[in-house]
Amino acid sequence: LNCYLFRTYVPSMPDELNYFLSGGFAGMLGWTAAMPFDVPKTNVQARYDTKVVGSYFPELFKIARERGIRGLYNGLGPTLIRAFPANAALFLGVEMGKKFFD
Protein backbone atom coordinates (compact mmCIF):
# COMPACT_ATOMS: atom_id res chain seq x y z
CA LEU A 1 0.00 0.00 0.00
CA ASN A 2 2.83 2.38 -0.75
CA CYS A 3 1.89 5.74 -2.13
CA TYR A 4 3.40 6.13 -5.58
CA LEU A 5 3.83 9.89 -5.24
CA PHE A 6 5.72 9.61 -1.97
CA ARG A 7 7.97 6.89 -3.43
CA THR A 8 8.63 8.97 -6.56
CA TYR A 9 9.23 12.41 -5.07
CA VAL A 10 10.57 11.52 -1.62
CA PRO A 11 12.46 8.24 -2.13
CA SER A 12 14.28 8.56 1.18
CA MET A 13 11.03 8.60 3.19
CA PRO A 14 10.90 5.78 5.75
CA ASP A 15 8.36 3.07 5.00
CA GLU A 16 6.49 3.69 8.25
CA LEU A 17 5.93 7.36 7.45
CA ASN A 18 4.87 6.45 3.92
CA TYR A 19 2.28 3.99 5.26
CA PHE A 20 1.03 6.52 7.80
CA LEU A 21 0.62 9.38 5.32
CA SER A 22 -0.80 7.15 2.58
CA GLY A 23 -3.41 5.77 4.95
CA GLY A 24 -4.37 9.18 6.25
CA PHE A 25 -4.83 10.72 2.82
CA ALA A 26 -6.63 7.63 1.50
CA GLY A 27 -9.08 7.84 4.38
CA MET A 28 -9.72 11.51 3.74
CA LEU A 29 -10.30 10.86 0.05
CA GLY A 30 -12.64 7.98 0.84
CA TRP A 31 -14.75 10.07 3.20
CA THR A 32 -14.87 12.95 0.74
CA ALA A 33 -16.35 10.56 -1.83
CA ALA A 34 -18.74 8.91 0.65
CA MET A 35 -20.00 12.01 2.46
CA PRO A 36 -22.86 12.91 0.06
CA PHE A 37 -24.31 9.44 0.67
CA ASP A 38 -23.70 9.46 4.42
CA VAL A 39 -25.37 12.78 5.28
CA PRO A 40 -28.92 11.76 4.20
CA LYS A 41 -28.52 8.41 5.97
CA THR A 42 -27.48 10.15 9.17
CA ASN A 43 -30.37 12.60 8.93
CA VAL A 44 -32.86 9.77 8.50
CA GLN A 45 -31.36 7.85 11.43
CA ALA A 46 -31.42 10.91 13.67
CA ARG A 47 -35.12 11.61 13.13
CA TYR A 48 -37.50 11.08 15.99
CA ASP A 49 -40.15 9.76 13.62
CA THR A 50 -38.60 6.38 12.93
CA LYS A 51 -41.78 4.95 11.42
CA VAL A 52 -40.93 6.46 8.05
CA VAL A 53 -39.65 3.67 5.82
CA GLY A 54 -37.66 4.12 2.62
CA SER A 55 -37.00 7.80 3.16
CA TYR A 56 -33.34 7.91 2.11
CA PHE A 57 -33.85 9.23 -1.43
CA PRO A 58 -36.47 11.81 -0.45
CA GLU A 59 -34.03 13.06 2.20
CA LEU A 60 -31.19 13.16 -0.34
CA PHE A 61 -33.28 15.22 -2.76
CA LYS A 62 -34.56 17.47 0.04
CA ILE A 63 -31.01 18.32 1.15
CA ALA A 64 -29.88 18.92 -2.43
CA ARG A 65 -32.91 21.13 -3.12
CA GLU A 66 -32.75 23.17 0.10
CA ARG A 67 -29.00 23.48 0.65
CA GLY A 68 -27.53 22.54 -2.70
CA ILE A 69 -24.67 20.15 -3.28
CA ARG A 70 -22.72 21.77 -0.43
CA GLY A 71 -25.43 20.60 1.95
CA LEU A 72 -24.50 17.02 1.15
CA TYR A 73 -21.03 17.74 2.54
CA ASN A 74 -22.33 19.05 5.86
CA GLY A 75 -19.88 18.00 8.60
CA LEU A 76 -17.04 17.14 6.24
CA GLY A 77 -14.42 19.11 8.20
CA PRO A 78 -14.72 17.17 11.47
CA THR A 79 -15.04 13.94 9.52
CA LEU A 80 -11.75 14.57 7.72
CA ILE A 81 -10.05 15.51 10.98
CA ARG A 82 -11.17 12.17 12.40
CA ALA A 83 -10.44 10.20 9.23
CA PHE A 84 -6.77 11.09 8.89
CA PRO A 85 -5.42 9.68 12.16
CA ALA A 86 -7.82 6.73 12.21
CA ASN A 87 -6.94 5.54 8.71
CA ALA A 88 -3.27 6.42 9.07
CA ALA A 89 -3.03 4.22 12.16
CA LEU A 90 -4.97 1.45 10.42
CA PHE A 91 -2.69 1.42 7.36
CA LEU A 92 0.43 1.58 9.52
CA GLY A 93 -0.81 -1.25 11.73
CA VAL A 94 -1.71 -3.49 8.80
CA GLU A 95 1.59 -2.92 7.01
CA MET A 96 3.65 -3.39 10.16
CA GLY A 97 1.68 -6.53 10.95
CA LYS A 98 2.37 -7.88 7.47
CA LYS A 99 6.09 -7.21 7.92
CA PHE A 100 6.08 -8.79 11.38
CA PHE A 101 4.32 -11.98 10.30
CA ASP A 102 6.19 -12.47 7.02
Query: How many H-runs (helices) and E-runs (strands) does the chain carry?
Result: 4, 0
pLDDT band, residue 61 (cuts 50/70/90): very high
Alpha-carbon distance of 12 to 1, in angstroms, equals 17
Please give the residue that has the higher pLDDT: either 38 or 11: 38
Q: Is the pTM for the entire model greater than 0.95?
A: no
Each residue's pLDDT tens digit, 14-35: 888 988 998 999 999 999 999 9
User: In the predicted model, what is the mean pLDDT of residues 64-91?
Assistant: 95
**Using a CB cutoff of 8 Å and minimum separation of 24, what contacts does 25-28 make?**
25/84, 26/87, 26/91, 27/83, 27/84, 27/86, 27/87, 27/88, 27/90, 28/80, 28/83, 28/84, 28/87
